[in-house]
Amino acid sequence: MTASRNEKDVTIGELNRSKILRAAEEEFASHGYKGARVQQIADRAGLPKTNVLYYFKSKESLYLAILENIMRLWNSRFDEATVHDDPARVLAQYITDKMEISRSHANSSKIFALEIINGAPNLNDFFKDQHSKWMAGRVAVINEWIKAGKLKETNPYYLLYNIWGTSQHYADFSTQITELQGSSMGQKDFENATKNLIHLILTGCDLTVPAEFR
């Protein structure tokens, strides 16, 4: 341990915390919260278990820290869309953002999925305080688009579920996709899949795909 501060002005503590979080993401994605082992996280991080517990009080603290990061990840430009915006552009951008997250943060997506599938025991506050409000706001905007004749009549809830289901599928089921295609999806593949999805969803809503998303 030559110094707690290296040349990039990052402390050893920050480095190790980061290492542990990355290792924990992999372990939680592989075995779920209940099945994950602190010793395994430590092994993945290349640190002794008690060193992991020096930085994070418990397995649960670690998991909740990761969940918090994930919740922050879902923030997107879609959150600010209003009735004045063009639905085609907003939806295309949202899908693009979601697909990029699926590509660049596959483990986060997987952990979120695992948490929901397991009954979301750790997300009650998130749902009650933020998510439901967010949803109500987005549904309202979509309904305003419909009322303003900018979007064909549809159920806003189902529209959003379908966008989430498709975009998150590329992260969550990446193992299946890799097996079925014989190789994992690279950047180019994700770009193609994004275009394909934008085309499917927008055409399915009778919207024209904006030129920059083709």
Among 4, 11, 18, 155, binds a copy of itself (CB under 8 A): 155
Give, in order, the Cα–Cα distances in Å from 92 to each of 162, 182, 214: 13, 29, 10
Smallest distance from a copy of itself to CB 182, Å: 8
- Decide: helix, strand or coil at residue 45: helix
Q: Applying CB under 7 A, does 5 fall inside the site for DNA?
A: yes
* Tokens of residue 15, six digits: 């480095």
Q: Applying CB under 8 A, does 148 fall inside the site for a copy of itself?
A: no
Residue 207: name the closest of 198, 182, 42 by CA. 198
Instruction: Kindly identify the residues of this chain, within the stretch 16-35, that bind DNA according to CB under 7 A.
Output: 16
Q: Applying CB under 7 A, does 13 fall inside the site for DNA?
A: yes
Q: Which residues pair with 5 in a beta bridge?
A: 11
Measured from the CB atom, is 55 or 88 closer to a copy of itself? 88
Distance, in Å, from the CA atom of 14 to the CA atom of 5, rounded to the nearest integer, reads 9
75 binds, among a copy of itself, DNA, none (CB under 5 to 8 A by kind): none
φ, ψ at 5 (rounded to 5°): -110, 125
Measured from the CB atom, is 83 or 113 closer to a copy of itself? 113
Q: Give the position of tokens 């002794």.
A: 48
Q: Applying CB under 8 A, does 39 fall inside the site for a copy of itself?
A: no
Give, in order, the Cα–Cα distances in Å from 24 to each of 58, 61, 83, 163, 198: 12, 11, 41, 28, 33
122 binds, among DNA, a copy of itself, none (CB under 5 to 8 A by kind): none
Site string for DNA, 45-74 (x = CB under 7 A): --xxxxx-xx--xxxx--------------
Smallest distance from a copy of itself to CB 193, Å: 5
Smallest distance from DNA to CB 44, Å: 13
* Cβ neighbours, 10 Å, residue 41: 24
Cβ-based burial of 177 (10 A; exposed 0-12, middle 13-18, buried ≥19)? middle
Q: Applying CB under 7 A, does 8 fall inside the site for DNA?
A: no
Report the interface residues with a copy of itself, using CB under 8 A: 29-36, 110, 113-114, 116-120, 127, 131-132, 135, 154-155, 157-159, 161-162, 164-170, 172-173, 175-177, 179-181, 192-193, 196-197, 199-206
